[in-house]
Copies of this chain bind each other. A is one copy, B any other.
Amino acid sequence: MLNNNVIVAQSGGPSPVINNSLRGVIDACRMFPDKFGKLYAGWHGIEGVLKEELLDISAQSEEEIALLRVTPAAGCVGTCRYKLKDDRHQDFTRLLDVFRAHRIGYFFYIGGNDSQHTVWKVSRLADEQGLELTAVGIPKTIDNDVGDSEFTLIDHTPGYASAARYWSHIVQLTNEESMGVCTSDPVIVLQAMGRNAGFITAAARLADPERKMPLQIYMPESHLTLEQLADNVNEQLKQDGRCMVVVNESFDVGDIGAVQDAFGHVEYGACQQSAAQAIVNYLNAKRLKTRGYARGQVMDTDQRHAIIYASTVDLDEAYKVGQKAVDIALNNGAGWMATILRDPGFIYNVRYDKAPLETVALSERPFPEKWIAPSRIDVTDDFLRYARPLIGEDWVSVPMINGIQRFAKFKPLFADKKLTNYELH
């Protein structure tokens, strides 16, 4: 009997468009009923695969699958931060047991570099053990930090464009607020996500490409200090009477009582202190050279699930890169991550291609130095030319029912368990 069933799963922090990669995989698999059997989703990513919790996607309705287009985050099939450590042979053995028990021939994993690393290891192990498994990675991270600094592995990761669009809007809105309240609250500090990578923070500039706003951008790659920030803010206040600061969550403000996830990455939303709050306290204690206060704002996960701010370009690309993974599985086999590459020239156009998992898994892309403006608190126009096409032109159309958003909801139908229970480490 053929091993042609499919598992698709998600990992890491979600994005507004992650469900579109899921939908791309589902729709593409359904186009080839002779190639693919039953379609399952790992319930909470690799954790669900280990626990043999396989959501039956084949049993879900067409309408709910279509609604994945406008359903943000990972509520439908779940995600996780579980790390398959190299020394956890048991985890890998268990994975292959589950694949065998459910006749899984295809494994699609949607995630960042950590997840691509997982796909790569699973793929090698299956190969070593003679299990016929085609494992393909699908990129996802709002941080845009996957890939090489020449952008030849991937131009941008699905999710980034929507986070960028989010910030272009938030800064515009905050500017209206700031213009209004500046006589009492002259400084507003906004904290943006992006673990050690400034791409999201940089996108704040999309709100104001002509640089008319008193906006300062603090990316981790700029390596500025709290003291420099305070000096810059006071300088701006002298000129404009108000200042907006968009600061990356990993901006160095000293001890933040950091906590880490399973991969050893700091989880900024769970730490004892935020960069924004530390900056507000520092500025208010230093007595801003003006009357009034600095106030702060930590949007945290909102920027990775506010679907109304999603980029329609991003929604489309996330879908197609999911489809591409299926295309790779059919025509190229294992060892690849589906990717998005940009055509040369000034007309924005992308093509869907493949990148070697091994290379991608080890990549980490900081915000390029060449895109940081000489002031260190702004970006260059080259960055704007890179980012502007990503955010698109239009609002996404999010259906409303009875005054609230209509999101996809899957029925809790799972594959019958065939193995004994498994305890996660």
Which residues of chain A have a CB within 8 Å of any CB of chain B? 10, 13-14, 44, 47, 71-76, 78-82, 165, 168-170, 172-185, 188, 206-207, 257, 259, 261-262, 267, 269-270, 272-274, 277, 280-281, 284, 293-302, 304-309, 388, 391-395, 398, 400, 402-405, 407
Q: For residue A78, which residue of chain B has the nearest CB?
A: B180
Cross-chain contact A82 with B259 (CB below 8 angstroms): no
Which one, B72, B183, B261, B306, contacts A80 given CB within 8 A?
Answer: B183
B residues near A261, Cβ cutoff 8 Å: 184
Knowing A71-B176, A183-B80, the reply to whether A403 touches B392 (Cβ < 8 A) is yes
B residues near A295, Cβ cutoff 8 Å: 267, 269-270, 300-301
State in angstroms the CA–CA spacing of A173 and B407 once bound together: 9
Cross-chain contact B404 with A305 (CB below 8 angstroms): no
**Shortest distance in angstroms between A281's beta carbon and chain B's nearest beta carbon?**
5
Cross-chain contact B177 with A301 (CB below 8 angstroms): yes
Cross-chain contact B269 with A273 (CB below 8 angstroms): no
Select the residue from A177, A178, A297, A299 with max chain B CB neighbours within 10 A: A177
Which one, B168, B173, B270, B297, contacts A72 given CB within 8 A?
Answer: B173
B residues near A308, Cβ cutoff 8 Å: 169, 308-309, 395
Cross-chain contact A181 with B267 (CB below 8 angstroms): no
State in angstroms the CA–CA spacing of A260 and B106 once bound together: 60
State in angstroms the CA–CA spacing of A169 and B257 once bound together: 31
A-B contact pairs, 18 of them (CB 8 A): A73-B180, A75-B175, A75-B178, A78-B179, A79-B180, A168-B404, A169-B404, A172-B404, A173-B307, A174-B301, A177-B301, A185-B270, A269-B295, A270-B296, A272-B277, A302-B302, A395-B398, A395-B400
Select the residue from A165, A180, A188, A206 with max chain B CB neighbours within 10 A: A180
State in angstroms the CA–CA spacing of A43 and B303 once bound together: 33
**Shortest distance in angstroms between A192's beta carbon and chain B's nearest beta carbon?**
13
**Shortest distance in angstroms between A386's beta carbon and chain B's nearest beta carbon?**
14
Cross-chain contact B404 with A181 (CB below 8 angstroms): no
Knowing A14-B181, A173-B305, A301-B177, the reply to whether A293 touches B259 (Cβ < 8 A) is yes
B residues near A181, Cβ cutoff 8 Å: 13-14, 73-74, 79, 81
Cross-chain contact A176 with B74 (CB below 8 angstroms): yes
Cross-chain contact B294 with A183 (CB below 8 angstroms): no
State in angstroms the CA–CA spacing of A293 and B267 once bound together: 9
Cross-chain contact B302 with A170 (CB below 8 angstroms): yes
State in angstroms the CA–CA spacing of A407 and B398 once bound together: 22
State in angstroms the CA–CA spacing of A274 and B278 once bound together: 12
B residues near A403, Cβ cutoff 8 Å: 165, 168, 206, 388, 391-393
Q: For residue A313, which residue of chain B has the nearest CB?
A: B403
Which one, B74, B296, B302, B394, contacts A269 given CB within 8 A?
Answer: B296
The 5 residue pairs across chains A and B that have the minimum distance between CB atoms: A74-B180, A269-B295, A75-B179, A270-B293, A75-B176
State in angstroms the CA–CA spacing of A44 and B182 once bound together: 9
B residues near A79, Cβ cutoff 8 Å: 180-181
Cross-chain contact A298 with B298 (CB below 8 angstroms): yes
